[in-house]
Chains A and B, each alone.
Chain A
C-alpha cells in the first residue's frame, strides 16, 4: 500500500518535471563563447579578434588568446563589433502618464506605471539600450521613485533590474506656482518631515524607557524622503533653467544628498558651478543649441557636451523620441565626437557613466570578468550612422535579432504589393 503511494508520488513528480522542462523556452546555455571581430570593452583597451567567455550569464573572461572550453557553445561574430549595451540614466517615456498632478508625491513609484508593451521599449531594444532608469516626469516637485528596467519582457517584473532607484525632484514650477512658491513648498515639506522624524524618535525613546517593544513604522508616504535624507536613494534633481542649478546645489548641500542633476538646455550657463561641485550630470537631449548674442545680435552655436567636457564634468546622455537623430544614444555620442570630444569618453557616457549614476555598474556598463553578459553585436563601429544593432544579448541570452525584427522590416522595406487602382473614368 505504502509503496503504491510512493510510485504515484514519483510519477507525479516525473510528469511535473517533464511538463515543466518542455514548457520552458529555449534554455540559457550554461557556457558560451563569443568570437568577435572587435570588442569594445569600455573598461580597458579595444580588442581585435578577441573572445568573451560566458558562464551562467556572467562574463568569465575576455581577451585575445582565451582557450574555449570543449563544452562551450561558440557564437561566431567575426564581422561584428561587440560592446556593452547602452544605458539610459533618465527617461520618462514608456509610462502610462509621467506626471502626477499633485506636487508632493514621493511615495509613488514608476513600477506601477511602466507599460511593458509600449513601443518605446521595443524601440529601445532595437536601438541597443539594455538598461534604463524610468523616473517620473519633470513637472512634479517630488515626483516619486524610479525603476531600473531592461527593455525586454512582457511584465514589469520580467523587465526589472533594480526597483526603488532614485527619487525625482523637479525645480521647474508648474501651474500657477512661481519659482519662489515652488522652492518654499519644498523647504516646508522637508521641515515638516524633520518635525515628524523628531516626534517619531521621541516616541521611540519614550517607549524604550518603559521597556516596551516599539513597533511603530515610519509613515510609508514619507519613507522615500527619509531614505533620500539617509542617502539610501539618489536625488535626480531636474533644473529647467540655469537659475535652478544653484537651488539644486543648495538642496544637495543643505541636506547632504546623493545627487544627479538632470539638466534643461539652458543650464549650460551654470557649468562653472556644476564643475566646482563635481556633481554628475544628465545632459538635455538637444545637444546643439543656438543663442542670440545680445551685443552683436548674431546667433551663436553652443555645443552642450563640449561645454561640460571642457569643464571636466562627468555626464550621461539622454534621448528624445520626437527629435531626429537624438532618439539614438550612439548618435548623441557621435555628435559630441564631431565637435571634439574624445571617443572613449563619449562611449563611456552612454555605457559606464550612466550605469554608475543609476547604481548598476557592478553588473553593467563594461565588458569585464564578473559582470553580466549583456552586450550588443553591431554591424560596424557604434558611432557610424550605418551601424545596426544585429543582436542584443542580455545575461547570456539573445533577446533581439535584427533579421527576425518584423516591424523594422515593415519600416524599411518596400511594401509587398500595392494595387494600382483601375482607372474608372
Chain B
C-alpha cells in the first residue's frame, strides 16, 4: 500500500518526465551479437530491465510490453572500456605542490557537464578509467567512470580504482633548473634524474612499511600507500622504456604490490619477462615513428607492440590515450589487428580485458546475464574503418543515435 502511494504521488508529481522515461523492458534483436564471453550469437535477442541485461541468446520470447530495437543484420557488441582516457574534468590534471601526492583524487574534479562526454560516448566508450596527470612521482588516485550522470557520484562506478605512479620522464620534465639561474617556481621540485625517481618511490614504500610496522594511523598519504602495498588498491605505473619496465618489475617484487604497467612503449622488448610475472599492460597511444616522439622518451617503437605482448601471454588493454586528442578506440583496434594482433584478442583488449584490469568485470565488458546494459549497435564488422557506430546504449538507455 505504501509503495503504491509513493508510486502514485511520483506519477502525479512528474507528469512531464514520464514521457522521457523508457518502458521497463527493452529488447534488442540483432543479426550478430559479439558477446565477448563466448562465441558470437547469430540472430539473437538481448533483454534489458532496469539498466541490466536480464537475458541473452537465441529463441528468447520477447515480452509484449517490451520496446523492441530491431537492429536487423547489424552487429551488436558490448560498450567499449577505455583503460586510459582523457578525463572529463576542468582545469589542470597535475597538482604540483608536492611530488608525492597519493591522496589527490581525480574523481573530485569530475565535471558532469564536460563537453568531452558527448565525444566519448560517440566513439562507443561506455566505461573509462581516468587518472591525475603524470607530473608527480606518486600522482594520486584514479577512478573508473561512465560518461553519463548528473552528478560526479552517478558517474563513478569505482572510486580509488588505482594509484598512479610515474616512472617515465614526465615527472622530471621542467624540474631541472637551468645553471646559474634562479628556480622558475617557488615550489622548487625534486626529481631531476631517473635515479631520484626510483629513490623517491623506494623511500615512500620504505616509509610506508615502517609506518605499518609502528601501527600508526594518522598519515592519510601513507594510509593510501599502505593499502596499495596491501593489494587493496592496484598500482598503475607509467613506464615507457624497457629499462624502466624491468625496474618496475623489480620494485613490484621487492615491495610486493599489484602492478599494472601503463603506456609501456617498449614493452615488446621485455614481453616474456612481463608475461612471466603475470602483469597486465595498459598500452598508451600508438605512434608510427620515433621521430614523432621528440618529447617522449620511448624512442624505439614497434607498431606491433600489442600483438607481441599478447602472443607472449600478457593481458593487454588498448586505449585512446590519456594525453592524445580524440583517437577513435575502435579504429585503434583495427590498426592493432593490421599490425599483427589476433582479431579476437584485439576486440577483447577494448572490452573484457580492460574491465578485468580495472576490476569492474562483474559489471561491464561482456554481454552476459546480470551485467550492465552497455551496448553498441554497429553498421558492420567492428574492425572495419568504414563501419559506423549507429547507436550507443548506456545503462539500458539510448545515449547516442547517428543521424
**Interface: A270 (CB within 8 A):** no
CA distance A411 to B385 in the complex (A): 22
Of A290, A292, A325, the residue contacting B331 (CB under 8 A) is A325
Interface presence of A384 (CB below 8 A): yes
Partner of B308 from A297, A384, A385, A414 at Cβ < 8 Å? A414
Is A60 an interface residue, CB under 8 A from the partner?
no
Q: Is the CB of B326 within 8 A of A290?
A: yes
B292 interface neighbour in A298, A322, A420, Cβ under 8 Å: A322
Q: Which of B19-27, B36-44, B333-341, B391-399 has 4 or more CB atoms under 8 Å from chain A?
A: B333-341
- Residues of A within 8 A of B (CB-CB), count: 32
A337, CB-defined interface residue at 8 Å: yes
Tell me if B134 is interfacial: C-beta within 8 Å of chain A.
no
Q: Is there contact, CB below 8 Å, between B385 and A335?
A: yes
Complex Cα–Cα for A41 and B202 (A): 64
Residues 345-403 (chain B) with a chain A CB within 8 angstroms: 383-388
Q: Does A412 contact B (CB under 8 A)?
A: yes
Separation of A64 and B115 alpha carbons in the complex (Å): 54
Asked if A16 is at the interface (CB within 8 A of a chain B CB), the reply is: no
Measured CA separation A385–B341 after assembly (Å) = 13
A292 CA to B114 CA in the complex, in Å? Answer: 12
Contact yes or no, B326 A334, CB < 8 A: no
**Cross-interface CB contact of B273 among A327, A331, A420, cutoff 8 Å:** A420
On whether A412 and B339 interact (CB within 8 A), knowing A383-B386, A385-B384, A418-B270, the answer reads yes
A71 CB-CB contact with B under 8 Å? no
User: How many A-B residue contacts, CB cutoff 8 Å?
Assistant: 86
List chain A residues, Cβ under 8 A from B338: 385-386, 388
Q: How far is the CB of B158 from chain A (nearest CB, A)?
A: 26
* Residues 375-425 of A at the B interface (beta carbon under 8 Å): 383-386, 388, 411-415, 418, 420-421
Residues of A within 8 A of B270 (CB): 418
A299-B387 CB under 8 A given contacts A324-B286, A327-B288, A386-B338: no
Say yes or no: A386-B268 contact (C-beta < 8 A), given A331-B385, A338-B386, A339-B388: no
Does B198 sit at the interface, judged by CB under 8 A? no
Mask of A317-329 contacts with B, CB within 8 angstroms, 1/0: 0000110110100
A45 touches B (CB below 8 Å): no
A46–B338 alpha-carbon span in the complex (Å): 25
A180 within 8 Å of B (CB atoms):
no
- B268 contacts A292, CB within 8 Å? no
Q: Please, which residues of chain A bring their CB within 8 A of the CB of B335? A: 324-325, 385
**Binary A-proximity of B293-306 (CB < 8 A = 1, otherwise 0):** 00000000111100
Is B258 in contact with chain A by the CB < 8 A criterion?
Answer: no
B residues 260-298 in Cβ contact with A at 8 Å: 268-273, 285-286, 288-289, 291-292
B119 proximal to A (CB < 8 A): yes
State how many angstroms separate the Cβ of B260 from the closest Cβ of chain A.
Answer: 22
Nearest-neighbour CB distance to chain B for A258, whole angstroms, equals 34
B153 at the interface (CB under 8 A from A): no
Query: Which one, B268, B291, B331, contacts A415 given CB within 8 A?
Result: B268
User: How far, in angstroms, from A420 to B269 measured CA to CA in the complex?
Assistant: 9
Do B115 and A298 have beta carbons less than 8 Å apart? yes
Check: A18 CB closer than 8 A to any chain B CB: no
A338 and B388 contact, CB distance less than 8 A: yes
Q: Is A102 at the interface (CB under 8 A from chain B)?
A: no
A8 close to chain B: CB less than 8 A: no
In the assembly, what is the distance between CA of A301 and CA of B270, in Å?
40
Q: Does the CB pair B340–A386 fall under 8 Å?
A: no
Give Cα A324–Cα B329 distance, bound, in whole angstroms: 11
A299's partner among B118, B272, B285, B340 (CB-CB below 8 A) is B118
Q: Which residues of A lie under 8 Å from residue B115 when comparing CB positions?
A: 292, 297-299
Tell me, in angstroms, the Cα distance from A331 to B288 when the chains sit together: 15
Q: Are B337 and A385 in contact (CB under 8 A)?
A: yes
Q: Please give, as numbers and ranges, the residues of chain B lying within 8 Å of A388 by CB-CB distance.
A: 338
Q: How far is the CB of A184 from chain B (nearest CB, A)?
A: 36
Determine the chain A residues whose CB is within 8 A of the CB of B285 once the complex forms: 324
Q: A290-B326, A335-B385, A386-B337 are in contact. Are A412 and B304 (CB under 8 A)?
A: yes
Is B74 in the interface zone, CB < 8 Å from A?
A: no
Complex interface: chain B residues within 8 A of A413 (CB): 304, 340
A298 to B272, CA, bound (A): 46
Q: Are A337 and B386 in contact (CB under 8 A)?
A: yes
Kindly state whether residue B122 has any CB partner on chain A within 8 Å. Answer: yes
Cross-chain contact A385 with B385 (CB below 8 angstroms): yes
Whether the pair B303, A412 counts as a contact (CB closer than 8 A) is yes
Q: How far is the CB of B194 from chain A (nearest CB, A)?
A: 16
- What chain B residues lie within 8 Å of A385 (beta carbons)? 331, 334-335, 337-338, 383-385
Contact B327 A324 (CB under 8 A): yes
Are A334 and B385 touching (Cβ within 8 A)? yes
Residues of chain A in range 256-295 having any CB-CB distance to chain B below 8 Å: 288, 290, 292
Q: For residue B308, which residue of chain A has the nearest CB?
A: A414
Output the least CB separation between B85 and chain A (Å). 15
The answer to whether B273 touches A338 (Cβ under 8 A) is no
B246 at interface by CB-CB < 8 Å:
yes
Q: Write the chain B residue with the least CB distance to A297.
A: B115
B350 → chain A closest CB, angstroms:
15
Q: A297-B115, A385-B338 are in contact. Are A411 and B384 (CB under 8 A)?
A: no
B-chain residues with CB within 8 Å of residue A337 when the two chains form the complex:
386
Contact A412 B340 (CB under 8 A): yes
A119-139 interface with B by 8 A CB criterion: 119
**Docked CA distance A386–B303 (Å):** 14
Q: What CA separation (Å) do A212 and B274 show in the bound complex? A: 87
B122 touches A301 (CB 8 A): yes
Q: How far is the CB of B272 from chain A (nearest CB, A)?
A: 8
Q: B385: which of A297, A338, A414, A421 is its contact (CB, 8 Å)?
A: A338
Question: Chain B nearest CB: distance from A290 CB in Å?
Answer: 6
The docked-state distance in angstroms from the alpha carbon of A290 to that of B121 is 14
Determine the chain A residues whose CB is within 8 A of the CB of B302 once the complex forms.
Answer: 411-412, 414-415
Chain B interfacial positions (CB closer than 8 Å to A)? 115-116, 118-119, 122, 242, 246, 268-273, 285-286, 288-289, 291-292, 301-304, 307-308, 324, 326-328, 331-332, 334-335, 337-340, 383-388
Q: Would you mind naming 21 contact pairs between A and B with Cβ atoms under 8 Å apart?
A: A290-B326, A292-B115, A297-B115, A298-B115, A299-B115, A299-B116, A322-B292, A324-B286, A324-B327, A325-B335, A334-B384, A334-B385, A383-B384, A384-B386, A385-B337, A385-B338, A412-B307, A413-B304, A414-B268, A418-B242, A420-B273
Given contacts A324-B327, A385-B385, A421-B246, 17 further A-B contacts (CB under 8 A): A292-B115, A297-B115, A321-B288, A324-B286, A324-B335, A325-B328, A325-B331, A385-B331, A385-B383, A386-B334, A386-B337, A388-B338, A413-B340, A415-B268, A418-B242, A418-B269, A420-B272
Q: 10 closest Cβ contacts across the A-B interface? A: A334-B385, A385-B334, A412-B304, A299-B115, A337-B386, A411-B303, A418-B269, A338-B386, A412-B303, A385-B385
